[in-house]
Structure 1
Amino acid sequence: MFWINLILAVPVVAFSGMFAMVLGYTLPDLPWVPWVAPVIGTVMYFWGGWPFLTGAVSELRSRKPGMMLLIGLAITVAFFASWGASLGLLHHELEFWWELALLIVIMLLGHWIEMRSLAQTTSALDSLAALLPDEAERVTSAGVETVSPSDLRVGDVVVVRPGGSVPADGRIVDGGADMDESMVTGESRPVTRAVGDQVTAGTVATDSGLRVQVTATGDDTTLAGIRRLVADAQSSTSRAQRLADRAAGWLFWFALGAAAVTAVVWSAIGMPDEAVIRTITVLVIACPHALGLAIPLVVSIATERAARGGVLVKDRLALESMRTIGAVLFDKTGTLTKGEPTVVDIAAVADLDAHQILALAASAEADSEHPLARAIVRAAQERGLSIAPATGFQSSPAVGVTATVSGAVIRVGGPRLLEEVGGADVVESGAWREQGSIVLHVVRDGQVIGGLALADEIRPESREAVDALHRLGVEVVMITGDAEPVARSVAAALGIDRVFAGVRPEDKAAKVAALQAEGLKVAMVGDGVNDAPALARADVGIAIGAGTDVAIGSAGVILASSDPRSVLSVIELSRASYRKMTQNLWWAAGYNLISVPLAAGVLAPIGFVLPMSVGAILMSLSTVVVALNAQLLRRLDLTPEASVRAVLDR
Structure 2
Amino acid sequence: MEPHHSEHEKHQHSTSSENTHHAHMHHHKKADEHSEMNHDHGNHQHGEHNHAGHEGGGHDHHEHHAHMIEDFKKRFWISMLITLPIVVMAPMIQELLNFEFRFNGDRYVQFALSTIVFFYGGWPFLKGLKDEIKDKAPGMMTLIALAISVAYFYSSAVVFGLEGKIFFWELVSLIDIMLLGHWIEMKSVMGASNALQELAKLMPSEAHLVKDNGETEDVNIKDLEEGDVILVKPGEKIPADGEVKEGKSHVNESMLTGESKPVAKKEGDELIGGSVNDKGSLKVTVRHTGEDSYLNKVVKMVSEAQEANSKTQNFANKAAVWLFYVALGSGIITLIVWSAIGKEFEYSLERMVTVMIISCPHALGLAIPLVVAISTAVSAKKGLLIRNRTAFENSRKISTIIFDKTGTLTKGEFGVTRFESVSEDYSKEEILKIAAALEANSEHPIATGILKKVEELELKFEESKDFENITGKGVEGKLNDKKVNIVSPGYLKEQNIDLPEGAFQDEVETVVFLLVNDELKGYIALADEIREDAFEAVKTLKEQNIKVLMATGDNEKTAKAVSDKLQLDGYYAEVLPEDKQQIIKDLQSKKEVVAMTGDGVNDAPALAQANIGIAVGSGTDVAAATADIVLVNSNPKDIAALILFGSATYKKMVQNLFWSAGYNIIAIPLAAGVLAPIGIILSPAVGAVLMSLSTVIVAVNAQLLKKQMKV
On whether the aligned pair clears a TM of 0.5, the verdict is yes
Q: Which amino acid aligns with 2:118?
A: G
The answer as to 2:123 corresponding to 1:47 is no
Residues 245, 538 of structure 1: CA spacing in aligned structure 2 closer, same or farther, 3 A cutoff? closer
Residues 387, 585 of structure 1: CA spacing in aligned structure 2 closer, same or farther, 3 A cutoff? same
For 1:559 and 1:548, locate their aligned partners in 2 and report how far apart those are by CA, in whole Å: 12
For 2:324 and 2:408, locate their aligned partners in 1 and report how far apart those are by CA, in whole Å: 49
Please list the CA deviations of residues 263-286 of structure 1 after superposition, one character each: whole Å capped at 9, or x if unmatched.
332233333264344223223322
User: After the TM superposition, which residues 204-353 of structure 1 pair with which residues of structure 2 at under 5 Å, given as runs?
Assistant: 239-241=312-314, 244-245=316-317, 247-272=319-344, 274-351=347-424, 352-353=426-427
For 2:124 and 2:585, locate their aligned partners in 1 and report how far apart those are by CA, in whole Å: 46
For 2:90 and 2:573, locate their aligned partners in 1 and report how far apart those are by CA, in whole Å: 75
Counterpart contact for 2:556–2:573, Cα < 8 Å: yes
For 2:610 and 2:638, locate their aligned partners in 1 and report how far apart those are by CA, in whole Å: 18
Matching residue within 386, 389, 393 for 2:463:
389
What corresponds to 1:561 in structure 2?
633
For 1:397 and 1:122, locate their aligned partners in 2 and report how far apart those are by CA, in whole Å: 51
Counterpart contact for 1:9–1:102, Cα < 8 Å: no
User: After the TM superposition, which residues 430-579 of structure 1 pair with which residues of structure 2 at under 5 Å, given as runs?
Assistant: 431-432=504-505, 434-545=506-617, 548=620, 550-552=622-624, 554-579=626-651
Please list the CA deviations of residues 6-31 of structure 1 after superposition, one character each: whole Å capped at 9, or x if unmatched.
555455444444444455x3637xxx
Cα shift at 1:413: 0.8
Residues 627, 42 of structure 1: CA spacing in aligned structure 2 closer, same or farther, 3 A cutoff? farther
Matching residue within 593, 600, 609 for 2:672:
600
| Deviating more after overlay: 53-62 vs 552-561 | 53-62
Counterpart contact for 2:511–2:526, Cα < 8 Å: yes
Q: Which amino acid aligns with 1:424?
A: D
SS in 2 for 1:355: helix
Structure 1: 5+ residue stretches without partners:
126-153, 158-228, 644-650
SS in 2 for 1:558: strand
What corresponds to 1:222 in structure 2?
none
What corresponds to 1:586 in structure 2?
658
Residues 624, 49 of structure 1: CA spacing in aligned structure 2 closer, same or farther, 3 A cutoff? farther
For 1:58 and 1:540, locate their aligned partners in 2 and report how far apart those are by CA, in whole Å: 28
Q: Which amino acid aligns with 2:353?
A: I
Cα shift at 1:420: 4.6
Please list the CA deviations of residues 319-369 of structure 1 after superposition, one character each: whole Å capped at 9, or x if unmatched.
233221112111222221112221111221232321111111111222111
What corresponds to 1:173 in structure 2?
none
Q: Which amino acid aligns with 1:368?
A: S
What corresponds to 1:402 in structure 2?
476
Counterpart contact for 2:405–2:551, Cα < 8 Å: yes
For 1:604 and 1:312, locate their aligned partners in 2 and report how far apart those are by CA, in whole Å: 52
The answer as to 2:689 corresponding to 1:620 is no
Q: Which amino acid aligns with 1:380?
A: V
SS in 1 for 2:602: coil
Q: Which amino acid aligns with 1:447?
A: E
**Equivalenced residues, count:** 523
SS in 2 for 1:111: helix
For 1:565 and 1:340, locate their aligned partners in 2 and report how far apart those are by CA, in whole Å: 19
Residues 389, 321 of structure 1: CA spacing in aligned structure 2 closer, same or farther, 3 A cutoff? same
For 2:420 and 2:124, locate their aligned partners in 1 and report how far apart those are by CA, in whole Å: 78
| Deviating more after overlay: 437-446 vs 479-488 | 479-488
What corresponds to 1:226 in structure 2?
none
Bigger fraction of residues in helix: 1
Question: TM-score w.r.t. structure 2 length?
Answer: 0.65
SS in 1 for 2:499: coil
Cα shift at 1:397: 1.6
What corresponds to 1:196 in structure 2?
none
Counterpart contact for 1:77–1:280, Cα < 8 Å: yes
For 1:359 and 1:275, locate their aligned partners in 2 and report how far apart those are by CA, in whole Å: 94
Matching residue within 175, 182, 185 for 1:107:
175
Residues 346, 441 of structure 1: CA spacing in aligned structure 2 closer, same or farther, 3 A cutoff? same
Residues 102, 396 of structure 1: CA spacing in aligned structure 2 closer, same or farther, 3 A cutoff? same
For 1:451 and 1:473, locate their aligned partners in 2 and report how far apart those are by CA, in whole Å: 42
What corresponds to 2:492 in structure 1?
418
SS in 1 for 2:636: coil
What corresponds to 2:129 in structure 1?
59
| Structure of greater relative contact order (alpha carbons < 8 Å, 6+ residues apart) | 2
SS in 1 for 2:532: coil
The answer as to 2:445 corresponding to 1:358 is no
Q: Which amino acid aligns with 1:463?
A: F
Counterpart contact for 1:360–1:387, Cα < 8 Å: yes
Structure 2: 5+ residue stretches without partners:
1-74, 194-231, 236-301
The answer as to 2:439 corresponding to 1:371 is no
* RMSD after superposition: 3.7
Counterpart contact for 1:427–1:451, Cα < 8 Å: no
Q: Which amino acid aligns with 1:588?
A: S
SS in 2 for 1:271: coil
Residues 307, 156 of structure 1: CA spacing in aligned structure 2 closer, same or farther, 3 A cutoff? farther
